[in-house]
Structure 1
Amino acid sequence: MENREKVLAVRRMQQFIVQRLKEPITLYQLAQAAGYSPFYSARIFKEVTGKTSFEYIRAMRMSAAATKLAGGDCKVIDVAFDFVFESHEGFTRAFSKQFGVPPGEFRRRKMPLKLFLPSRDSNYYLNKQNGELEMEKSKNNTVFVQVIDRPERKLILKCGRKASHYFEYCEEVGCEVWDTLSNIKDALYEPMGMWLPDNLIVPGTSVYAQGVEMPSSYNGPVPEGFDMISLPACKMMVFQGQSYDDSKFEDAISDLWEVMKTYDPTIYGFEWADNDGPRFQLEPMGYRGYIEARPVRQLNPKL
């Protein structure tokens, strides 16, 4: 069997898993999705992903459960049943083994966890080049994901005219904006680059801007040429890549974008909510990995 056919078969199994993550999944079902015998399907799944199908499904469910626990007040037992665990005890053992902390403690402390993201976990991925599908080794980068609460706040920002990303913004506005933002006192967090949703874009200004978030009570000075707007409370899904050589920051950004492009938050109990606030990126720093965040809302928040 050609490498290309193996990867396509495994992708069909991966898609089947994503669609039925909250249901019992058998090897026979995966084999049907792959179009091969159960034995052969199990073998190529391990060869391509580096995990058995059982390990893969368990890692997906654990990560989905952790993300759901981080996003609301749902009960541990409800999350356990939601992801096909038969008891609170079994779920707690599996969660603790996966993350090194019991689910109840994780829910209280909202600590960041190393979640399993399947977007580029395979030993191979397909690359379209010169009209042909070719096999290349993947980078197997780990991405950390967590959901955080952003309070009601104000935003001091400076927009460009047509900029859609950082480099266009610097050409239009200049690079000194960052220094100005860094010197604003009482900021809640560090300065950030951001993509504004349609409801926050003033006609004639850019989708990409730079700004810094301030307490909702802030009534202090605003630098000349800057604006200040109010933002409602929201949840942000934060993606953080691995550390990298500072000279390769563009690769780190593009790698994370590849993950975010195919990431489905509904698997983990959320949906994208782009009008709730700006999608933002923090200053790329190799030692901490590239960080970007996108607004989300929790599905079925009463669970």
Structure 2
Amino acid sequence: MEWLDRMNRALDYIENHLQEEIDYKELAKAACSSEFHFSRMFSAISGISLSEYIRRRRLTHAAFELQKSDRRILEIANQYGYESADSFARAFHKTHGIKPSEARREGAQLKAFPKLSFQLTIKGDTEMEYRIEHLDFELILTGKREPVKTSRAFKTIPKLWSQAKKEGFTQQLIDLSWENPKCKMEGILGVCGKEAAITDEEFDYFMGVRYEGDFPKDLEILTIPPATWAVFPNIPDAWKRLYTEWVPTSGYELANLPCIECYYGPGRKPRHELWVPVIMK
């Protein structure tokens, strides 16, 4: 499958550049993916963040170097991207449980993290509902952003909305919300990241609504250009299946724009949808 070939090309690119600075634009290009989505897609498929995978692969090779050569530890540290022996020692101990100097002792216990290889797993026994929406105008949003650690996003984001409700911010958004929508993207919106940042362990989650008029001074403005969107009901389920089931077989690529979570008012079915920016292959 073409999609699998692309992802494995990205793994090859990582492997070939472990001893030098990785160009993340080239890495995303190897996978024919947008920079914005590649790290999230990688994490969803592999179960590990992109930066952590690269770190473990480098420290695996560093351990091999320590055992088979008598080169200085700092030289090996520099070879795998560490500027000081101390930072290398901390990272090495976190992965292997021992100091770099101890790795040279006979019988030292080390951990080898193998290169990943993506393979096809047959799924899809449950259908995924979706529709395509073409929005030929800018989306102008007002709201505020909050930093979210990527690894804890599914726990943190519900807490952000709960806190927003307690503080009255949700009601403020409801009062500002779109009265005469141009499209089906209405209600309260959660924008998952404002800019492309392939290596981020943290991203900005923008909580807002579509709005035109005199913007409140205490809120930010976010503008999203015209785009085509794949829209999925049931946000939690859509996030779980988007990268592993829909993208590989859809005939679409993910556009270099953030995804948007839409939370609708009472009586609306579905109650929430995930809007994913896409382009035709």
What TM-score range do you get, normalising by the shorter chain?
0.3 to 0.5
TM-score, length-scaled by structure 1: 0.38
Q: Which protein has greater RCO, CA pairs closer than 8 Å, 6+ apart?
A: 2
TM-score, length-scaled by structure 2: 0.41
